[in-house]
Structure 1
Amino acid sequence: MNKVIYDVEQKLRAGEYKLTPRREHILRVILENREKHLSAEEIYNLVKQRAPDVGLATVYRTLELFLDFDIIHSIDFGDGRKRYEFGSEKGAGHHHHHLICARCGKIIEVNEDLLEELESRVTRIYDFTITDHELKFFGYCRDCRNKS
């Protein structure tokens, strides 16, 4: 994790920003919860546990800064809340998809690129260069399906 924090610090410095202690707390929360898709409010609540002086506005500003520097990216799962993931690497391997349970809201990542053939066809037929894609499947997870 320290290498990732160092890399983020260097990226921000190159853009004449600093990785302040508050920003580092926010980054650590995101890194410690990589398997989750946290909203700004959830990040704020986790940061508050370790740094009570960090405000919600600071979390929002930091998330926007991290987005601008491609440190994180946001995803909308159709519930009216942005969720955040560490790392974006647009066009460079960020090909994973999400299964979203319509009942409990559980989000499952599918870490396979299921659209390679379709991307090739679109590129060829429409002369269009694809840099990234996002695919979301909505349905019911095993637990919710078994409750029915």
Structure 2
Amino acid sequence: MIQGANNRPDYERQLRRAGVRITRPRQVIIELLGKMEDHPDAMEIYRRAVAVDPTISLSTVYRTMKLLEGFGAIHRHAFEGGPSRFENASGEHHDHLIDIETGDVIEFKSDRIEQLQDEIARELGYDIVHHRLELYGRRRKVRKGG
């Protein structure tokens, strides 16, 4: 993963190295992606990009995301019940809890879960090379009066 001075992914450099022309719409998209801290879908990325430059097309967003995904610069998540969502591929490994009522994606890290996964794989005769954990839930209702 190529990163810039601010420790954010340098998507522009990755695209240029691959011979991809950096147009004004693509520049807007990669700047937005470099700043994102959530897990937007393509329509949300499009909405954010159009707010900056109304000439950007949804197809440009899709093509740019596909290119970056192919380089391993972003991760595509196909969380159940919704469109594919994206996140920067840089950073530490983490897992996701998806709120099934709001669609919110909460990132979390658990050393206990990581250790348990390693133990299970080892017991079955495997080394984990990649994994992704997604939990789906709804917020607990707090009862008044005990």
Relative to the length of structure 2, the TM-score reads 0.79
Identical pairs, percent:
32
- Decide which structure has greater helix share: 1
Distance 1:70 1:61 in 2: 14
Deviations 1:122-145 (A, max 9, x none): 443344332221111111236xx3
Q: Is the 8 A contact 1:106 1:141 kept in 2?
A: no
Gaps of 5+ in 1: none
Contact 1:44 1:59 in 2 (8 A): yes
Alignment partner of 1:51 is 2:53: yes
- DSSP-derived class of the 1:104 partner: coil
Name the counterpart of 1:15: 18
Output the amino acid matched with 1:97: D
After superposition, the Cα gap between the structure-2 partners of 1:141 and 1:126, relative to the gap in structure 1 and judged at 3 Å, is: same
The equivalences for 1:1-148 within 5 A come to: 3=5, 7-34=10-37, 36-88=38-90, 93-94=92-93, 96-141=94-139, 145-146=141-142
Q: Aligned residue pairs: how many? A: 140
Please give the TM-score of this superposition, normalised by the length of structure 1. 0.78
